């Protein structure tokens, strides 16, 4: 899924003798029977297949994805092995599954965040919906797929990411850059680079009392004054509402998109809808909506309970024709692990709760790749 087209569709065929009757075109024809489920085209025409080589009865090639979090990565590899393995004379199939995340960036973002390929905002219309917990777990889930991930805690008035990521009391280091600039070094936890206004507050119990312009300036500094290095995804945990932080982020960088987090009940959905429409008015693509605290599974009887109603976020997504990314249960494991500074995806990666977050992270990465692909189809290449 989501191949990266760069240069030729496939590399040069090895000059060593091939299996009798088996050609590179035979291999490509076999692989062309594999369809991308979202783009609805075959992986050869999409440019997924690279470096086909045939050596006697051995066939090798590479399938290059635009995200290591591709949700059908394993299925695609299985089909590739089977399709090519059926060709007469083929005794062994070697498939290398790789990835190269594409950037959806403007020149302004390239200056502010030169090594960051995609910036994704995680927002909500109100507080208390578990947005920060969701963001932390998605960030870790993406990192566990092999992606390079960063996380900005832009919730200036209520920064909770340091506690969730086990970084309470952390102070970012400062380093001199080759060009003489002074840059902040993000903290790191669970293979995720992290910046938060909470790192600069001496007493975490004291409130941050800032006027609007200071909020915008603080968010921009956490983005542009930090040495993020190379990142595939930079997630931004937005403050509730649609104030200065939202405007600053949308105006400073080209967001790959926004994810809206809501609870199932009508009042939460109504406010989440306002946040969604605010981002749309700023021309920010909506990558999806997800429903947190969607249901509860009783430990004793195994019965599902829809405590706060159910299905509202999915209905909103369907009405607005935006992706629905999934439902996250209300679970003591999620709460307790977050309180320890080790989110459930890192603490219990095989648990049902962690699997849910991982599935949502993969769906999010898929939407970023789909959006990038569609933009490249409609934006013509500049003449040279």
pLDDT the model gives residue 303: 78
HSE (side-chain half, CA atoms, 13 Å) at 69: 28
Q: pLDDT value at position 113? A: 86
pLDDT band with cut points at 50, 70 and 90 for residue 212: low
Residue 227 has phi, psi (to 5 degrees) of -90, 90
Q: Where in the chain is the domain with CATH 3.30.300.130?
A: 24-99
Check whether 4 has a pLDDT greater than 70: no
Percent of the chain predicted with pLDDT > 70: 87
Tell me which of 11-15, 299-303, 349-353 is least confident: 11-15
Rounded-to-integer distance, Cα 128 and Cα 263, Å: 9
DSSP letters, 197-230, are: GGGG-S-TTS-----HHHHHHHHHHHHHTB---S
Residue 105: pLDDT band by 50, 70, 90 thresholds? low
CATH homologous superfamily for 24-99?
Fe-S cluster assembly (FSCA) (3.30.300.130)
Q: Is 302 left (phi over 0), alpha (psi -120 to 50) or beta?
A: left
Quick check: helix, strand or coil at residue 150? Answer: strand
Distance CA 257, CA 279 (A): 9
Mean pLDDT score, 34-47: 86
pLDDT class for 54, splitting at 50, 70, 90? very high
Task: Kindly report which listed range (154-168, 235-249, 370-384) carries the lowest average pLDDT score.
Answer: 370-384
Q: Phi/psi at 70 (nearest 5 deg)? A: -55, 125
Q: Choose between 266 and 292: higher pLDDT.
A: 292
Q: Which of 255, 237, 216, 221 is nearest to 119 (CA)?
A: 255
Sheet containing 49-55, strands listed edge to edge, beginning at the edge strand earlier in sequence: 49-55, 58-65, 92-99
Q: What is the CA radius of gyration of the chain?
A: 23
HSE-up of residue 270 (Cα within 13 Å, Cβ side): 3
Strand-by-strand arrangement of the 257-262 sheet: 187-189, 192-196, 149-153, 233-237, 119-123, 257-262, 286-291, 324-327
Query: Where in the chain do CATH 3.40.50.300 domains reside?
Result: 107-378
Rounded to two decimals, what is the model's pTM? Answer: 0.85
Phi and psi (nearest 5°) for 354? -65, -40
Residue 1: predicted pLDDT:
57
Do residues 251 and 281 lie in contact, with contact meaning Cβ atoms separated by under 8 Å?
no
Tell me the mean pLDDT in the region 97-108: 76
**Are 319 and 269 spatial neighbours (Cβ–Cβ below 8 Å)?**
no
Right CATH for 107-378 from 3.40.50.1820, 3.40.640.10, 3.30.365.10, 3.40.50.300: 3.40.50.300
Read off the pLDDT of residues 121-137 as tens digits, 9 standing for 90 and up.
Answer: 998 877 778 899 999 99
pLDDT in tens, 144-187: 999 999 999 988 777 899 999 999 988 888 888 888 888 999 99
Please give the pLDDT value at position 76.
Answer: 95
Block residue for tokens 């832009």 = 154
- Averaged over 305-329, what is the pLDDT? 85
Q: Is a pLDDT exceeding 80 seen at residue 247?
A: no
At residue 109, the pLDDT reads: 57
Mean pLDDT within 342-353: 94
Highest mean pLDDT among 1-5, 196-200, 290-294, 349-353: 349-353
């Amino acid at each position: 899924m989501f191949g990266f087209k760069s240069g030729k569709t496939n590399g040069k065929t090895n000059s060593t003798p091939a299996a009798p009757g088996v050609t590179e075109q035979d291999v490509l024809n076999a692989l062309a029977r594999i369809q991308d489920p979202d783009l609805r085209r075959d992986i050869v025409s999409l440019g997924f297949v690279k470096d086909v080589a045939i050596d006697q009865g051995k066939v090798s090639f590479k399938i290059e994805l635009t995200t290591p979090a591709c949700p059908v990565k394993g299925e695609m590899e299985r089909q590739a092995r089977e399709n090519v393995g059926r060709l007469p004379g083929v005794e062994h199939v070697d498939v290398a599954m790789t990835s190269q995340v594409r950037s959806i960036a403007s020149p302004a973002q390239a200056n502010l965040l030169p090594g960051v390929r995609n910036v994704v905002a995680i927002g909500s219309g109100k507080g208390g919906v578990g947005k920060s917990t969701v963001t932390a777990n998605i960030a870790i889930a993406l990192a566990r797929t092999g992606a390079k991930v960063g996380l900005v805690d832009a919730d200036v008035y209520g920064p909770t990411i340091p506690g969730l990521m086990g970084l309470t009391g952390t102070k970012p280091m400062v380093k001199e850059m080759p060009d003489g600039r002074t840059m902040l070094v993000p903290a790191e936890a669970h293979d995720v680079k992290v910046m938060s206004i909470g790192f600069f507050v001496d007493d975490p119990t004291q409130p941050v009392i800032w006027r609007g312009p200071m909020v915008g300036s603080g968010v921009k500094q956490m983005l542009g004054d930090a040495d993020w290095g190379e990142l595939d995804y930079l997630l931004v945990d937005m403050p509730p509402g649609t104030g200065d932080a939202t405007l600053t982020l949308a105006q400073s960088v080209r967001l790959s998109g926004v994810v809206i987090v809501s609870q199932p009940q009508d009042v939460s959905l109504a406010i989440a809808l306002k946040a969604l429409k605010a981002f749309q008015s700023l021309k920010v693509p909506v990558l999806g909506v997800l429903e947190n605290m969607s249901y509860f599974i009783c430990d004793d009887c195994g019965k599902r309970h829809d405590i706060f109603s159910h299905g509202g976020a999915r209905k909103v997504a369907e009405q607005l024709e935006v992706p629905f990314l999934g439902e996250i249960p209300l679970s003591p494991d999620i709460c307790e692990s977050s309180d320890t500074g080790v989110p459930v995806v890192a603490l219990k990666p095989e648990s049902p709760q962690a699997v849910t977050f991982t599935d949502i992270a993969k769906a999010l990465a898929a939407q970023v790749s789909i959006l990038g692909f569609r933009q490249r189809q409609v934006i013509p290449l500049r003449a040279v």
